């Protein structure tokens, strides 16, 4: 006659299963959010690495050529990063206020869009050209 009376333990088992599923769902959701944040951070880092590498390449090209005062945008390299070049004479003096000539400041700027925000990186170098 044990089959005629409902077992109170069966209700507790159902409650325990529901509670375990809620905990599992919360943990799984947290892991998915952490994975998404890590993926976004890796993508941002890849864009920054590409911009820094592009700046170094553009600087190598700029320093090898004969420099003169210029401000211009550089041609796109297909990466979605835009480069801007500024070369201007640099006024340097020594301890006795004597001016040195032939120094130029080469300033490069890389800019790109990262989602809804604008990102930039800069690189500057001094070059002597007699």
Residues 55-89 pLDDT 10s: 999 999 988 988 889 999 998 888 889 999 999 99
Evaluate whether residue 77 is within a structural domain.
Answer: yes
pLDDT at 1: 47
pLDDT in tens, 32-41: 999 999 999 9
pLDDT tier at 121 (50, 70, 90 boundaries)? very high
Evaluate whether residue 4 is within a structural domain.
Answer: no
Percentage of residues in the chain having pLDDT higher than 70:
92
pLDDT at 60: 92
Judge contact between 82 and 58, C-beta under 8 A.
no
The mean predicted confidence, pLDDT, of the chain is 89
pLDDT at 114: 85
Residue scoring higher pLDDT (118 or 67): 118
User: The tokens of 40 are what?
Assistant: 């976004």
pLDDT surpassing 90 at residue 3: no
Domain holding 76, by residue range, is 9-128
Evaluate whether residue 3 is within a structural domain.
Answer: no
Residue scoring higher pLDDT (36 or 9): 36
DSSP 59-97: HHHHHHSPP-SEEEEPPP-SSS-EEEEEEEE--EE-TT-
Evaluate whether residue 2 is within a structural domain.
Answer: no
pLDDT surpassing 70 at residue 126: yes
Domains: count for the chain = 1
Evaluate whether residue 62 is within a structural domain.
Answer: yes
Overall average pLDDT of the 46-61 stretch: 92
| Nearest residue to 79 (alpha-carbon basis) of 52, 121, 108, 51 | 51
How many Cα atoms sit within 13 Å of 62 on the Cβ side?
31
Evaluate whether residue 1 is within a structural domain.
Answer: no
């Amino acid at each position: 006659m044990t089959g005629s009376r409902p077992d109170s333990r069966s209700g507790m088992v159902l409650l325990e299963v529901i509670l375990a599923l809620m905990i599992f769902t919360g943990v799984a959701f947290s892991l998915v959010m952490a994975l998404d944040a890590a993926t976004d951070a890796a993508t941002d880092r890849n864009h920054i690495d590409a911009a820094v590498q592009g700046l170094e390449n553009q600087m190598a090209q700029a320093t090898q050529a004969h420099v003169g005062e210029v401000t211009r945008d550089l041609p796109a390299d297909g990466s979605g990063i835009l480069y801007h070049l500024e070369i201007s004479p640099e006024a340097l003096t020594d301890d006795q206020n004597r001016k040195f000539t032939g120094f130029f400041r080469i300033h490069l700027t890389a800019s790109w869009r990262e989602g809804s925000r604008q990102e930039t990186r800069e690189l500057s170098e001094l070059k002597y050209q007699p």
